[in-house]
Amino acid sequence: MILHPIKLLDAMAEEISDTNQTIGKLQQLSFYLDGENNFYDQEHEMTEHELEWRLERTYIGLSLLMEHLALPNLLSQFQAGFKRYHGKLREVEVVPYVGDFYSEPHSYLRKYLFSLSSLCGADLEKQQDEQRKSTLEGILVNTPKIIFDRGIEPKNEAEVRKSVFDLLIHVFPDTVREMPIIQNTKTYKPDIGVKSLSTAIEYKFADSEEEVKKAVGGLYEDMRGYSGSKDWTTFYAVIYMTDAFYTQQQIMSEFKHTSADENWKPLLVIGKGARVKRSKA
């Protein structure tokens, strides 16, 4: 069997990044574990299985790599250290004062990944950027928690956007708002951008199924307006729903069916809030 170390490292780096997203999803689902909604309980259990599977897959990949590189001492140390997590791969803990979820075995695997990357001369900068993008995505996925911690029930996307921006500037100091993307006939302004990651974020607020449909339709227009930008190459579309009007899988499926731009990723989140109803005259 021919093993390509750099390709395997890239695959493991991608798996580590995907695991970050899985942990973020567990945090989001934890807000709704009240025993009254079987949907969230079952989704949470499935996501725990996914976390376990991803960690096991990364462990196997890193073990294969160390064996291929003829590093028996490092491999023995790695495998011995990982034994402490036996039966605990589905467990997550909370970072004190911050409130974010993290996984100890995930951190353990990531440490060895970066060490092996240095040894093999892999592109660490790319991996670090992917890690930072994963951190950003984790924050976006946890938008409902950010809103909850601020004790507000948003009435529109501006309130949601401001709460997330106020947090992002502490994690990514180069976060900006409404940066212009100039086209021939119009200047477009994404809601939030992180310059160092060339990543822009668009927020939508939906208080009904129809508003979700309208929001998705607006995203297609945004794609056309933001296309061709050299400053912003990755885009997140966060749809903040006040109830479970659609699933993430439904919107992802539509993006694939409509051949939406591949550098756009939708994120559906569910949190408290409601639009102010206009009084009838």
Residues 154-159 have a mean pLDDT of: 92
Specify whether 104 is located in the same domain as 155: no
Tens digit of each residue's pLDDT (9 = 90 or more) over 69-125: 899 999 999 999 999 999 999 999 887 645 678 899 999 998 898 888 878 776 666
Alpha helices in 31-156 (DSSP H): 38-68, 72-82, 104-120, 124-141, 143-149
- Check pLDDT > 60 for residue 134: yes
Q: Is residue 248 part of a domain?
A: yes
- Check pLDDT > 80 for residue 238: yes
pTM: 0.67
Q: How many domains does the chain have?
A: 2
Q: Please, which pLDDT band fits residue 42 given cuts at 50, 70 and 90?
A: confident
- Check pLDDT > 80 for residue 29: no
Percent of the chain with pLDDT over 70: 89
Q: Which of the listed residues 105, 129, 153 is the one where a domain comes to its end?
A: 129
Q: Output phi, psi for 216, to 5 deg.
A: -65, -40
Q: Which of the listed residues 129, 156, 190 is the one where a domain comes to its end?
A: 129
What residues have CB less than 8 Å from 179, skipping those under 6 apart? 189, 190, 193, 200, 231, 232
Specify whether 94 is located in the same domain as 175: no
147 contacts 31 by C-beta, under 8 angstroms: no
Q: Is residue 277 part of a domain?
A: no
Cα–Cα distance measured from residue 130 to residue 123, given in angstroms and rounded to the nearest whole number: 11
CATH at 150: 3.40.1350
Specify whether 164 is located in the same domain as 189: yes
Q: Please, which pLDDT band fits residue 39 given cuts at 50, 70 and 90?
A: low
Q: Give the per-residue pLDDT at 221.
A: 82
Q: Give the per-residue pLDDT at 20.
A: 82
The residue among 138, 140, 109 whose CA lies nearest residue 21 is 138
Specify whether 170 is located in the same domain as 109: no
Cα–Cα distance measured from residue 71 to residue 75, given in angstroms and rounded to the nearest whole number: 6
Quote the domain boundaries for residue 37. 5-129
Between these two residues, 38 and 265, which has the higher pLDDT value?
Answer: 265
Q: Please, which pLDDT band fits residue 257 given cuts at 50, 70 and 90?
A: confident
Q: Is residue 72 part of a domain?
A: yes
- Check pLDDT > 60 for residue 35: no
- Looking at every residue in the chain, the average pLDDT score rounds to 85
Q: Which of the listed residues 106, 129, 152 is the one where a domain comes to its end?
A: 129
- Check pLDDT > 70 for residue 44: yes
190 contacts 226 by C-beta, under 8 angstroms: yes
Specify whether 259 is located in the same domain as 175: yes
Residues 241-253 have a mean pLDDT of: 88
